[in-house]
Structures are given as C-alpha cells and as structure tokens.
Amino acid sequence: MDYKISQQKPVEAITDALLIPVFKKEGIENLPLPKRLRTLIAEIAYASGDFDGKKQEVYTIPITGAVPKARRIVLIGLGEREKYDLSALRNAMAATAKSLKKYAVESIALLTRAALLPARNWNRFAQTVVEGFELGSYKFDLYKSKEDEEEEKKKELKSIFFLRVPPQRNTEVEDGVQTGKVLSEATSYTRNLCNQPPNVVNPEKLAEEAEALSANLELDCEIIEQSEMEKMGMNALLGVAKGSKQPPKLIVLKYFRGTRDEKPIALVGKGVTFDSGGISLKPGKNMDEMKYDMSGGAVVLGTMMAIAMLKLPINIVGVVPAVENLPDGNATKPGDILRAMSGKTIEVLNTDAEGRLILADALTYVQKEYKPEIIVDLATLTGAVVVALGNAAAGLMGNNEELKKELQKAGQACGERLWPLPLYDEYKEQIKSDIADIKNIGGGPAGVTVGGAFLSHFIAECAWAHIDIAGVAWTTKDTPLAPKGATGFGVRLLGEWLKNRMAQKK
C-alpha cells in the first residue's frame, strides 16, 4: 500500500472513499467541511441514529452528487475523546480497512486534524494509521486455493492520502509512514511464520528464513549445527531435540551498525517449531496450536528484519534455538539429567518444560560469544502466564528494574502490553533438585515465575528481561488488529523499545 500526503481539499479529493474519523457524541460540527456537506452527513448518519462514533464503528455513505468528489464518505468512530489513545486510533483504522474490503476501493483519503493526534505528534499519528491499515488487512491464505484471485485483486486498496497535513509536518508524516510500514511488514512476516503448519516451519525452515533475511538485508547469519552444539556441550538444547528426526539449529543473526566499542543487545527467542510435550505428552485437544511455540523465535527474526530495514545505528545479535519437541524412542525421559553448556546439571522432570532447556543453552552461548550489555528473551514458555494475565498482556520478569521499565513503557506506547512479575528467591528455591543442580519444573504454583527463575540460573552478570508471550502470541478469536491465529506480538514492542533507546542516546 502507498501512503502519500495530498494538498487537496477534502471535498475536492477524487477518491473512492473520504474517511472522516469522529469522536463519540461530538458530531461533525467543528470539522473542516463545507456546511452543506455537514448537514448531509448529520441527516443521513446522525439524525437516523445509525451512527454515533462508537469505537471501531464504520459507517459508509455513498455519494452520487458532484460535491464531494469522493464516491463515498466513511465515518469512523473513535469512541470517547477522553479514552482516545494510539491503540484506539490503530484499532479504528484496522476496522476501517476490514469494512472497506466489501467495496471496490482502490484509493482513499483520510481527513486529518490536530485532535486526532493522541501523542500530539504527526510522526506517531502516521505510523499508527499505517499499522492499523496494514495489520487490520492481514490475512493468512497461503494454503487456500486461489479461485477468485482476479476478483480479489479488483478490490485491493492501493493508495491512502493524508489530507490537511500542515506543510511543516510533511517530513514527520513521511517518517512515521516508513516506520509504520516496516513494523507492520515485520509483524506480518512473524505472523506468517507462526501461522504456517509445523510440517513446513521446522527448525531447518527457520534457519533458511534467517539466511534469506541475511541475503536480502544487511544482516549476517550463522547457523550452528548439531555437531557443533555437541562440541560446545549444549546438552540441554540437544536433549530436547533428541526426540525428533529433525536436527536442531541454533540461528544467529548479527546486525552491527552501532559504534565499535558498544556491546550488543541480544534478543533470544524460543523456537520450538512443534511442542507435543515429548514423553510428557500433551493432551490431544488443541495440540495443533503448539505450532506457535516458535513465536519467540519468529519475533526475533521479524525484529531483526525491521531493525535492518530501519537501519538503526545499533549493535544487535538475535539468537533462536530451533527444535521440535517430540516423543521418539530416543527422546529425553522424565528423570534424565542433562549437563547444560554452562556446566549446570538439570534434572528433567517434565519433558514438556522444554523451552527453558533450549533457552538455557542459547543464553549461555550468547553471553559467552557476544558479551551483550542487555539480553531480552521472548518465549511462549508457560501455560501459567495465560492463567495469570490472559491475552491482555505478556508477563515481564528480569534482573534489572530500569530495563523492565523501559520495556513496559514501550509496550504501553505501542499497545503490546507487558505486566511485571517478581523473581523472588523462593522461586529459585523451588527448582533446586535433590540429585542435580536444578530441575526443570517447580512442581508447585507460580508457574510463570518459576519459568523465569529457571532462566535466571543461566544469566551471569548481564541486564536481562524475560517476556513470556504464551498468552499474547496467539488469538483464538478475531481481534481488531489480528485475525484468529498468530498476532506477531513483540515485533512492534521491540521496535519501539530500540527506537526509544536510539532517541535517548542522541
């Protein structure tokens, strides 16, 4: 989709749809439109009681006369002004994109005004509009036979014009558009990886994807194969992979565009391309959903893609341990003890708590090889985080308050919320094993933080945050921004966080 600024007057814009966002109960009295047009809208939409500006309400009025020149007027509800924020704007734009699908709309024009800028910032406004349109139009149809392709194409939206942007704000709008496009593309890329079936997206495919990214963007890719993992003593990771015929891959993507002396930030993502539970087999119901157990890894790939496209001046290394967790004759059994790369021994009491095992070695590896300043890991680690926070926020843990605050702030701003959970010593106690250093389950309550506490055993002296995305990486119902399936949660969050860090440095 193309986003441009247009100097045309709203009534003169030759477009398939003139979009007019409005707040609830405020009507259209103060909008920069000719009186005749306002009266027309008031009579058709408001007096009839058909429309009042509720959030995500979209109301289309076909136009046949000469004024305005648009073929349709589309009123977009933003809800109450007091509650209006970037998420409300993004969701409203997403609802509009969906609603316009039923018409043959190729170009649309959006009537902007200062009141629509929640952050008082044109850059942010433009970014959010783009994210709403792009993510709201996302669909996953790679595996649907395309019968009506021609028909579909006809309806495709091609250009969006921003009307009434103050000329001195043009560059801000253009920058915002660019950021919004990159973050949406990277989010959709991540969604596509998670939505694809597990017979396609296996560890090898994830590694190929990383290589493809490095071929197209300024990223370096290194794939660490099983034999090397063996040499390095990554027995926790290998222990999970053992139950599958698919060999594990440790994917490393490098982006070094910061200064030479600057230690990198490490992003680590759980890449279990299918989690059957292993010998501690999961129940059959909804087991198919466990294809999204590589969401953390897909977010790392998507974020690396976004960073490289935005050309941020930063040093980043992305690490994805990719494995399948299956119950083969050779699989790790409950009771087995594995010696992790760090030297710690782990008693595996439940083979379904596999994410922490692969992350343990990935965390050790990245610290040893890259001495990062900060590590952020993302993982669909526990069912317990879904119990604690549902689908409304991801669980945030870590060893550094400032880092957690930065991440939480970024999440609040972009609508991918994080909620902090503690890592008390008691949780670390819970995973002490009788016969090994630690065990991979606590056996008691507080499953989310026990998962976090386990990972903390593999962090040496680095600032670290762990984000449990099990509840937010997937949606079982259509939401304004994502249809059923993968959400890509985390790409916009990390993009926002890293951009904020860049801005602070300046």
Residues catalogued as catalytic:
282, 356
Among 53, 136, 239, 355, indicate the residue that binds Zn ion (CB under 5 A).
Answer: 355
Task: Say whether residue 350 binds ligand BES (CB under 6 A).
Answer: yes
Q: How far is the CB of 452 from ligand BES (least distance, A)?
A: 12
Give the binding-site size for ligand BES (rule: CB under 6 A): 16
Q: How far is the CB of 321 from Zn ion (least distance, A)?
A: 12
Residue 356 in contact with residue 458, Cβ under 8 Å?
no
Q: How far is the CB of 15 from ligand BES (least distance, A)?
A: 43
Please choose, out of 167-175, 188-196, 348-356, 424-432, the segment that lies near ligand BES by the rule CB under 6 A: 348-356
| 119 vs 201: CA distance, rounded Å | 39
Q: How far is the CB of 386 from ligand BES (least distance, A)?
A: 6
Residue 307 in contact with residue 242, Cβ under 8 Å?
no
Site for ligand BES in 286-315 (CB under 6 A): 293
Among 57, 131, 324, 354, indicate the residue that binds ligand BES (CB under 6 A).
Answer: 354
Count other C-beta atoms under 10 Å from residue 200's C-beta. 12
| 150 vs 400: CA distance, rounded Å | 53
Q: Measured at CB, which residue is nearest to ligand BES?
A: 383
Q: Which is nearer to ligand BES, 400 or 479 (CB)?
A: 479
Q: Which is nearer to ligand BES, 336 or 369 (CB)?
A: 336
Q: Where is 379: in which H helix or E strand?
A: strand 374-379
Task: Say whether residue 353 binds ligand BES (CB under 6 A).
Answer: yes
Q: What is the DSSP letter of 371?
A: -
Task: Report the SS3 class of residue 345.
Answer: strand
Please choose, out of 149-157, 361-369, 374-382, 418-426, the segment that lies near ligand BES by the rule CB under 6 A: 374-382
Task: Say whether residue 352 binds ligand BES (CB under 6 A).
Answer: yes
**Of 385, 388, 325, 378, the residue nearest 497 (C-alpha):** 378
Q: What is the DSSP letter of 432?
A: B
Sheet holding 438-439, edge to edge: 337-339, 345-347, 438-439
Q: How distant, in Å, are the alpha carbons of 147, 394, 451 from that of 397?
A: 47, 10, 10
Q: How far is the CB of 323 from Zn ion (least distance, A)?
A: 10
Among 338, 341, 366, 441, indicate the residue that binds ligand BES (CB under 6 A).
Answer: 441
Q: Which does 447 bind (CB under 5 to 8 A by kind): ligand BES, Zn ion, none?
A: ligand BES
Task: Say whether residue 275 binds Zn ion (CB under 5 A).
Answer: yes
Pairing of strands 394-398, 72-77: unpaired
Task: Say whether residue 324 binds Zn ion (CB under 5 A).
Answer: no
Task: Say whether residue 293 binds Zn ion (CB under 5 A).
Answer: yes
Q: Which does 383 bind (CB under 5 to 8 A by kind): Zn ion, ligand BES, none?
A: ligand BES
| 151 vs 149: CA distance, rounded Å | 5
**Look-up of token digits 């429309």:** 51
First to last CA, the chain: 32
Task: Say whether residue 324 binds ligand BES (CB under 6 A).
Answer: no
| 290 vs 220: CA distance, rounded Å | 29
Please choose, out of 306-314, 340-348, 349-357, 435-443, the segment that lies near Zn ion by the rule CB under 5 A: 349-357
Q: Where is 195: in which H helix or E strand?
A: helix 170-195
Please choose, out of 169-177, 210-218, 378-386, 485-493, the segment that lies near ligand BES by the rule CB under 6 A: 378-386
Q: How far is the CB of 272 from Zn ion (least distance, A)?
A: 5
Q: Which does 350 bind (CB under 5 to 8 A by kind): ligand BES, Zn ion, none?
A: ligand BES
Q: How far is the CB of 251 from ligand BES (least distance, A)?
A: 19
Q: Please, what's the b/e burial string for 314-324 (b: 16 or more CB within 10 A of its CB; e: otherwise)?
A: bbbbbbbbbbb
Task: Say whether residue 275 binds ligand BES (CB under 6 A).
Answer: yes
Pairing of strands 394-398, 463-468: antiparallel
Q: How far is the CB of 241 from Zn ion (least distance, A)?
A: 13
Residue type, 398: G
Paired tokens of 324: 């399948």
Give the binding-site size for Zn ion (rule: CB under 5 A): 6
Count other C-beta atoms under 10 Å from residue 306's C-beta. 26
Among 32, 335, 383, 422, indicate the residue that binds ligand BES (CB under 6 A).
Answer: 383
CA angle, corner 463, sides to 462 and 467, nearest 5?
120
Site for ligand BES in 388-427 (CB under 6 A): none
Pairing of strands 337-339, 271-275: unpaired
Among 382, 430, 456, 487, indicate the residue that binds ligand BES (CB under 6 A).
Answer: 382
Q: Which does 382 bind (CB under 5 to 8 A by kind): ligand BES, Zn ion, none?
A: ligand BES
Task: Say whether residue 359 binds ligand BES (CB under 6 A).
Answer: no
Q: Where are the alpha helices (DSSP H) in 137-169?
A: 149-154
| 444 vs 427: CA distance, rounded Å | 10
Task: Say whether residue 380 binds ligand BES (CB under 6 A).
Answer: yes
| 500 vs 482: CA distance, rounded Å | 25
Q: Where are the alpha helices (DSSP H) in 247-328?
A: 295-310
Binding site for ligand BES (CB under 6 A): 275, 293, 350, 352-355, 380-384, 386, 441, 447, 470
Q: Can you give the binding site for Zn ion, defined by CB under 5 A?
A: 272, 275, 293, 352, 354-355
